[in-house]
A and B are shown apart, each in its own frame.
Chain A
Amino acid sequence: MESTISLKTKGKGKGSKGASSSDDKSKFDIVKEWSNWSLKKAKVATHYGFIPLIIIIGMNSDPKPNLFQLLSPV
């Protein structure tokens, strides 16, 4: 029973070193996990959305170009 509990805590805190004060350890790990998740989402959002963002900002600047000018090769 005790050994399974200690295995579980080791699995939860991947980057942590020992099993001392669990409260600070899990806060830091939660922050790291959230920051990794948000960086991954930011990377995907930038990858797909940066050029459309520039196009949207550009099409709304004045004098406003029209859609035909955007798509035509001339």
Chain B
Amino acid sequence: MADLLPPLTAAQVDDKTKVDEKVDYSNLPSPVPYEELHREAFMSLKADNFEGLRFDFTKALNQKFSLSHSVMMGPTEVPSQSAETIKIPTAHYEFGANYFEPKLMLIGRVMTDGRLNARLKADLTDKLIVKANAQITNEPHLSHAMFNFDYMGSDYRAQLQLGNSALIGATYIQSVTNRLSLGGEVFWAGVPRKSGIGYAARYESDKMVATAQVASTGAVVMNYVQKISEKVSLATDFMFNYFSRDVTASVGYDYILRQSRVRGKIDSNGVASALVEERLSMGLNFLLSAELDHKKKDYKFGFGLTVG
């Protein structure tokens, strides 16, 4: 740890904590929220590839309020027992309304079949944030809702989650040094009676981020992102499940160029995918997505336009 920050903040130390001459442990930065632990890696490795046509139009009525109209046409996969994937062509229109204010954010999306997707985020105080997320359908027993209460301390974050069918979870993440943060999570689900515990660690510097996460459900995820320059970053990921012995490794890239953003990845399951977002003019973006699954012989191509 030879390249730590110089002791600029030594004057603000409080008497109780011992000051290390290189790192001021009483003034550590706030860590990344637990659910965003892998966010840099997932930006390149879990880009939202889609199949078919996608058209999104967002109309801003004022600074805070906007409406969105989205049309999606394409095959959607239906889960089936046989090894083949069954795709059914569907088309739908989704209407949405968004309200953004510094302390309150409301997002609602409703589809033609009556499904509502609602999200709310409110800052109750400057340290306590409540978030709610609900998917409500017309069919009974298929709706779910999740409420999260986040508390942000000076160098830690704690979150409590309550979900619809008796799901309770809690996560906690703490900054240990300027670059390393460690966290854990616990959850209990009522309906399939199971509970789990997991641990996570994240180490970051200006140029790289490395994270690792282990859970008692058997999942182990490790990823590493290196920022090669302002425009290029590369990421790699390794996931395995020690109960089902499933292993996946992937390598991806993210090029942020002036007029476009290209992201792609290749996987050990034989999947290669890429997503190109090109800015044709102010507010007009053209999207191209491709995902080739050589193992299952499933090839998906999509194109779309985003306005506003």
Contacts and interface: CB of A to CB of B under 8 A. Distances in A.
B106 A70 contact: no
B176 interface: no
Main SS class of interface, A: helix
A47 B106 CA distance: 14
B65 A46 contact: no
Contacts of B114: 47
A58 B118 contact: no
A51 interface: yes
Give the size category of A's interface with B.
10 to 19
Given A43-B143, A50-B118, A51-B97, A57 B62 contact: no
A61 interface: yes
B123 to A, nearest CB: 16
Nearest to A48: B116
Contact of B99 (A46, A58, A70): A58
B108 A54 contact: yes
Contact of A55 (B64, B97, B107, B143): B97
B61 A54 contact: no
B253 to A, nearest CB: 38
A63 B136 contact: no
A15 interface: no
B145 to A, nearest CB: 8
Contact of B136 (A47, A53, A58, A73): A47
B162 interface: no
A59 B108 CA distance: 15
B65 A59 contact: yes
A21 interface: no
A61 B64 contact: yes
Contacts of A65: 61-62, 65
Contacts of B134: 46
Contacts of A46: 116, 118, 134, 136
Nearest to B109: A51
B177 interface: no
A65 B59 CA distance: 12
B95 interface: yes
A69 B59 CA distance: 9
Nearest to B97: A54
27 contacts: A46-B116, A46-B118, A46-B134, A47-B136, A50-B106, A50-B108, A50-B116, A51-B97, A51-B110, A51-B116, A53-B106, A55-B97, A57-B65, A57-B106, A58-B62, A58-B99, A61-B62, A61-B65, A61-B99, A62-B62, A63-B62, A63-B63, A64-B62, A65-B62, A70-B61, A70-B67, A73-B59
